[in-house]
Chains A and B, each alone.
Chain A
Amino acid sequence: MSSVSKGKFFLAILSVLILVALWGPMFFILNKGASVEGFLTLFQKDEIWDATKQSLGLATVSSFFSVLFGTMIAFAIPKVPKKWQERLNFSLVFPMILPEIAFGLALMVFFVKLGIPLGWQTLLFSHVAFSLSYSTLLMKIRVESLDLSLIDAAKDLGATPLVIFKHALLPQLIPSMAAAFVTSFALSLDDFLVSFFVKGIDQRTLPIQIYSMMRLGVKNEIYSLFVILFCISIAVVLSTQLWLKKGKKL
């Protein structure tokens, strides 16, 4: 028995160490950023707020489409002949694995060759493109384990298709759609490489803004920005988890 608990102990220590190592750098920066002057300078820099607004808007819109299309595809997959399903799955996963820089450069060359002006449209399309894989996969998992009995029950009770959709189907989908939305949102907000190559001259997203600030030499404002973004990420992840938990209890 003691070798088991020794093993467990060792694992526990190792895991804690790794978690500490993961969080260490972030606390370090949080510490640096939690300064009044940092925040003050941050609030004065217009371009940071502009970039933030652009990023948030872009993330919201692209996530919306990503979840919408992802859900559609998730429903379509089971209906496709088995042979094609595997290929479909693979082609969905492949862009997730591909190095982002390859994707970004390919898109840039593509748009330039076709004479499509680089602007917010190309940026939006590209963001939907790379988050689509994630949304589809998340929704696919949900669709596979849908509780059809609810739908059958509603039908037996004589409900119209619209009502069945609204009350029997949608509630089952919503938690996964939320997860897909949040995933796409985070991916879009965080994206640098693809955005860098496909954006037009007017677009400046937050990661691109941060990158150019870093290139010039790191300054305090970025640390303070980090504090704010970090709090937001925590809030989002925590609230999603709590909400999902509530859903499960029901």
Chain B
Amino acid sequence: MTPNISTTLTVNFSWLVILAVGIFGCTPKGKTGDTAGAQNVNEVVPTELKVFSWADYLPPAVIEEFEKENSLKVSIDYFSSNEELLTKVQSSVESASRGYDLIIPSDYMASAMSKMGLLTEVPHDEVPSLKEFSKDFLNPSYNPGLKFVVPYAWGTTALAVNTKLLPSFDSSQLSWAQFFEAKSPLKGKTSWLDDMREVAHAALLANGKKWSSATEDDLKLAFDYLKTAKKNFKIFTPESRPVMEGGDCAVCMGYSGDILQIARDKKFLKYVLPKEGATIWADNLAVPKNAAAPKMAFRLINKLISAQGAKTFVETLLYASPNQKAFDLLSPELKINKAIFPSPEDFSKLTYLMDRPELMGKLESLWTELKATQ
């Protein structure tokens, strides 16, 4: 190749590259929505709201109504664990990119996130529906005075029994110990929730320990117990609904609303609160620090927790809502459903998994070891 040709080649290519970079670099990528820069998004009239949520956690009817009322689009991304939520939100805040407008952290994650300074304070006057809340939720320990988050839903993490696969099984005495040890007829047919804290708590309960007073040794004990128990389980899953629907699972660990949703169609599925007790958790709505449209986000929050919105939520998704007025509007069958609204007797057995940062390191490494064990 003579020098003339290669020089021409080089020159031509260089021009082409500069041209290309110029064209593509300057054109805002319309395909990806309003990403011309978070600052450019018109806060007064946003066209899109980005939500990061658990799968199927926002009643479509309420979202559609909100979209119409405010002439915008709500697009929802899904995460399957609080840790995934934290990672994504943290890295987007750290790298100063445009963040989600609305996220749904659970109680302990809300507490962690507010401590890490990732959340925008809640302007109580812009969220009037808070006045309709039951007293129990106005000052939770994970978020005093509801400064950074707004409670959205609460529920329990319990077990779903497949009465078709276990026709003669007495589920009234079902315990976490029974579930984990999975002796016949449960053997090889149990599914565990892929959630570190839930499984750890259940294992602690099965061994007579409490979350609030657990020590590192207690955790080690619980996980050694789990490592042995793992031989008899079927599957780890972050999403229990497809597994319950499949009908192959005799006893599945799952969130209360998920269980009840599937039980609506698959009548053979039964919600059972284990003997030793269970977790009660609360999911909250929050607006991250790098949200592009915080005002609109709080408007959506208000709509979701309003009496009507919350009522639709409970009816569609079968989780409980902290809005007292919404509760009053519910049908009698829903009001007396112990799976959604536990009795006072059940309540005494339920525990919130408060944030215990000093245990996290040990917990995480034990969890990884458990997952790696055969």
Contacts and interface: CB of A to CB of B under 8 A. Distances in A.
On whether A and B touch (CB less than 8 Å), the answer reads yes
B35 A65 contact: no
Nearest to B29: A120
Contact of A202 (B9, B20, B33): B33
B33 A161 contact: no
B98 interface: yes
Interface string A49-62: 01001100100010
Counting from the closest, the 3 A-B pairs by CB-CB distance are: A117-B97, A161-B8, A217-B242
A57 B31 contact: yes
A117 B52 CA distance: 18
Given A161-B4, A215-B78, A53 B31 contact: yes
A204 B96 contact: no
Contact of B5 (A71, A112, A115, A151): A151
Contact of B24 (A61, A72, A117): A61
Interface residues of B, number: 43
A71 to B, nearest CB: 8
15 contacts: A47-B75, A57-B31, A61-B24, A64-B20, A68-B17, A75-B1, A75-B9, A112-B95, A119-B35, A119-B97, A164-B8, A201-B77, A202-B32, A215-B55, A215-B80
A64 B8 CA distance: 20
A122 to B, nearest CB: 9
Contact of B6 (A75, A115, A162, A202): A75
A172 interface: no
Interface residues of A, number: 40
A215 B2 CA distance: 57
A155 interface: yes
A169 B78 CA distance: 50
B245 A217 contact: yes
Interface of A: 47, 50, 53-54, 57, 61, 64-65, 68-69, 71-72, 75, 79, 108, 111-112, 115-120, 148, 151, 155, 161-162, 164-165, 169, 200-204, 212, 215-217
Interface string B1-17: 11011111100110011
A57 B24 CA distance: 11
Given A47-B75, A117-B96, A148 B1 contact: yes
A165 B35 contact: no
A68 B95 CA distance: 30
